[in-house]
A and B are shown apart, each in its own frame.
Chain A
Amino acid sequence: MKGFVDLFILFILLIVLIPAMLIAPEALKYRVQAQYLLNIQSFTSTDVLLSILSATNPDELNSKKQKPSLEIVGERILISSQNVEFLREDLDKLVKSKCYLFESEKIKLADKSKDCPELPIKIKNIKIVEIVVPFNPTKLVEGVKLVVK
């Protein structure tokens, strides 16, 4: 009887230990991969935001001269026209999925593709940065957000 119990315990131990030995590293790898993917995606949106804001574009509403996008966006946020359509070409190029939402309190630019999911969805990739806006006594910085769907 005692031998039978020992064998049974052995059997149970083997049943538990072998899958644990096989699964545990895979689970860890999966977790690391997921975190890595999240980080990469997050950096992608950061990079996209930085690239877009660092680029220069013609200011169609004013002098049509080349100006930093950071300046044009800042002006559009505060001054009457909130049209940031000029960023679409850059966003289409830089966001691989072509599905995005660029917005602040006053401006909004969304993808045009019908294949893109509507918000709200489970967003994995969102980045908010603060940019300076033209001088005024109330607010000198404004948050702009990029959601890559």
Chain B
Amino acid sequence: MKKGVSIFHMIIFLAILLMVGLGYVYYIAFTEVVNFEKGVKETTVIEGTNIMELLRKNLQQALRYSYYQSSFEVAKVGGNVKLNDMPTWRKYEDIQGFPKDIKSILKDRTLEIFNKYSNSLNDEGVTTVEYTSLDAVKKDDGEYVSALAKDKKGQDEELQVSRAFFYHLYNKANTFILVPIRTLTLFEIGENNFVLSDKIQEKAIGGITSTNFKSNYNQKSQTSEGSTRKCGVNPSAEEVFTEVNNFGLEDGKKNIKTNIDLQLNSLEKELSTSTISTELLNREIQSDIVPVCAQTTEECCFPPLVSNILCIKHWKRATCTFSYFGAAKVKIAITDKGNKYPVYDSADKEPIAMRNIQLNFNIISGNDYSRKLVQ
């Protein structure tokens, strides 16, 4: 009996020990599993936060790339993206060729490219959105570009990251970025100088009847006797447009001129590709008597003051004044030389390269809009 009780007690003891032991093991296991699950959830959520952060950085960078590419494409063809050909912004007084919506064209193209990026960033557990509007504003140190994503009710749409069933991270999809570029400035320079005013007429063609031309002939006339016959020579178009090479344009802001050069293509290139025409309208000759002293010394006097200098002849000096009509078709290229950007150009052997943003367009102008000599 004593032995039986002992075994019974031992079994009871063992059973209790087993239950306590297993209970302890299960408790530890359960606690650890709970902690483990909690830890995994926490780390997964943190990972999701990191994914969201990277997504936002990628979208900001994508917006930069989109604006670079759009600026390059739109500026390259002077805003004429549909025809993909360089437009003529001005034909004398007619400025119909200027794309008034050039900024909208730039924004629309940027939005189109940006949405391609947004779609590319869609991934398993990562949902991006379709952006609905875009704006660009000129700032001192670049251009501030904002892309907005609104639903049909006008509410902001949200990016979503959800790599596991137990969490969903949301963040507003609207993206803002300061882009170090001056595309809008290029457009403004082009519009201000060639559409709202006509700098080709003012600074180049309009000046062909004035003193530069006259003085050239005055100098030549001093070298030959009876120089009035020189006035019968009609200057060629090349001579008239000698001054049409480079002239600086400023937009009124400091430092802008150093980085943005207005480059009229050289005259030689223009003559081969564009039309330049001149027409002599009027010729005036004014003559006066000028003493020329022939002597070993080159001193001259009138009347002679020193006895050993003899004035042997008086020559007639003629001043010839020509009035010309001039017209030209000029290729304008306004380049932002401050920065180069990574852009794609299918027309180039090396399609993806660092390039300047250059605004190209044509101008046809003359010093008399009623005489449309160049078409």
Contacts and interface: CB of A to CB of B under 8 A. Distances in A.
Chain B contact surface mostly? helix
A31 B32 CA distance: 10
B36 A50 contact: no
A149 to B, nearest CB: 21
Contacts of A47: 50
Contacts of B21: 17-18, 20-21
B18 to A, nearest CB: 6
Contact of A13 (B18, B28, B58): B18
Contact of B352 (A29, A50, A78, A129): A78
Contacts of A83: none
Interface stretch (B113-121, B206-214, B298-306): B113-121
B352 A10 contact: no
**How big is the A interface, by class?**
35 or more
Interface stretch (B3-11, B217-225, B318-326): B3-11
A32 interface: yes
Contacts of A132: 58, 61-62, 65, 117, 120-121
Interface residues of B, number: 50
A35 B123 contact: no
Interface stretch (B84-92, B157-165, B335-343): B335-343
B34 to A, nearest CB: 11
Interface in B1-52: 3, 7, 10-11, 14, 17-18, 21, 24-25, 28-29, 32, 35-36, 39-40, 43, 46-47, 50
A3 B11 CA distance: 12
Interface string A47-72: 10010011000000011010010110
B61 A71 contact: yes
13 contacts: A10-B10, A18-B21, A21-B24, A28-B28, A29-B32, A32-B32, A39-B39, A43-B50, A46-B50, A131-B61, A132-B61, A134-B69, A135-B68
